């Protein structure tokens, strides 16, 4: 017999848990479960964590072995965080501690969240950039986008373009979804980094000098009932320099106004 789980829905108090979760009542683990080596148990829980935080939370309640394995760095590196609250200050200390442990474990989503807060809210630019870069290098699309935009604005054009290219896909849907999620994330932030809240004359001068001024290179003014400000406005002939300069301008505008247009 495997581990028997009987579920019931229960709302935990905010000070005691991170979110509305399902609590569980466990039968005693079987001898086979209890005899699993720790490294195998950790690997199993890492796969559980990668698909569902709730299932990982439920597994922690089985016994002390499961609880200890669930907090292993390998498990925290893989845990799915996208559906959890973004900002820890809205929740209890347990949530903050959990996210910090995920950052230490190199979880891409946790690194992205921490990098955004450090760079834009705390003015800890070096730490924020390091976390955004680490997250982007692990394949986190939104982190790669923000890191690429920051580098491009700082005149590190090719390095920034390398990360921005990771956000593109056929038809531009990936970039559009990336902008949409970043805008949703930023709505809950108190942005204090003034460099992105003002029109930087030095950057604008560099942008004018870097534009190709080719007649064939142009942006497309999108129209229609299904147009959203996160959508692409580039044609097949838009050159990379104009496109990435456009992304910097749109991102800066979104920080100031809440919209990319």
The 10s digit of each residue's pLDDT in 116-174 is 999 999 999 999 999 999 999 999 999 999 999 999 988 888 899 999 998 886 556 78
Give dist(CA 236, CA 234) in Å, integer: 7
Average pLDDT score over the chain:
79
| This prediction's pTM | 0.79
Residue 252, pLDDT > 80, answer yes
pLDDT of residue 253: 86
Residue 28 has pLDDT above 70, yes or no: no
Q: Output the pLDDT for position 78.
A: 97
How far apart, in Å, are the Cα atoms of 228 and each of 177, 222, 224?
Answer: 11, 9, 9
The model's confidence at residue 30, banded by pLDDT at 50, 70 and 90, is: low
Buried b (16+ CB within 10 A) or exposed e, 202-236: ebeebbeeeeeeeeebeeeeeeeeeeebbbbbbee
Residue 89: what pLDDT?
A: 58
pLDDT of residue 249: 85
Average pLDDT over residues 70-74: 94
Q: What pLDDT sits at residue 114?
A: 95
Helices (H) and strands (E) in the chain, counts: 13, 2
Residues 122 and 153 sit within 8 Å (Cβ to Cβ)? no
d(CA 238, CA 212): 10
Which of 8-22, 30-44, 156-170, 230-244 shows the highest mean pLDDT? Answer: 156-170
């Amino acid at each position: 017999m495997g581990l028997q789980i009987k579920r019931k829905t229960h709302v935990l108090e905010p000070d005691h848990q991170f979110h509305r979760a399902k609590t569980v009542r466990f039968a005693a683990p079987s001898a086979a479960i209890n005899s699993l080596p720790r490294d195998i148990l950790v690997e199993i829980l890492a796969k559980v964590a990668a698909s569902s935080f709730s299932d990982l939370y439920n597994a922690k309640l089985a016994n002390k072995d499961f609880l200890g394995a669930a907090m292993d760095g390998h498990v925290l590196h893989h845990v799915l965080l996208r559906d959890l609250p973004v900002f820890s200050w809205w929740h209890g200390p347990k949530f903050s501690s959990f996210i910090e442990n995920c950052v230490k474990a190199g979880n891409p989503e946790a690194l992205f969240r921490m990098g955004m807060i450090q760079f834009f809210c705390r003015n800890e630019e070096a730490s924020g950039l390091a976390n955004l870069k680490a997250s982007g290098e692990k394949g986190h699309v939104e982190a790669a986008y923000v890191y690429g935009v920051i580098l491009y604005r700082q005149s590190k054009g090719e390095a920034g373009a390398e990360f921005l290219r990771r956000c593109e896909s056929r038809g531009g849907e990936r970039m559009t979804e990336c902008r949409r999620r970043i805008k949703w994330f930023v709505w809950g932030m108190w942005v204090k980094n003034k460099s992105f809240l003002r029109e930087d004359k030095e950057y604008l001068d560099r942008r004018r000098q870097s534009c190709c001024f080719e007649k064939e290179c142009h942006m497309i003014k999108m129209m229609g009932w299904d147009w959203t400000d996160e959508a692409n406005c580039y044609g097949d002939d838009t050159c990379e320099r104009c496109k990435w300069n456009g992304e910097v301008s749109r991102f800066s505008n979104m920080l100031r106004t809440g919209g990319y247009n």
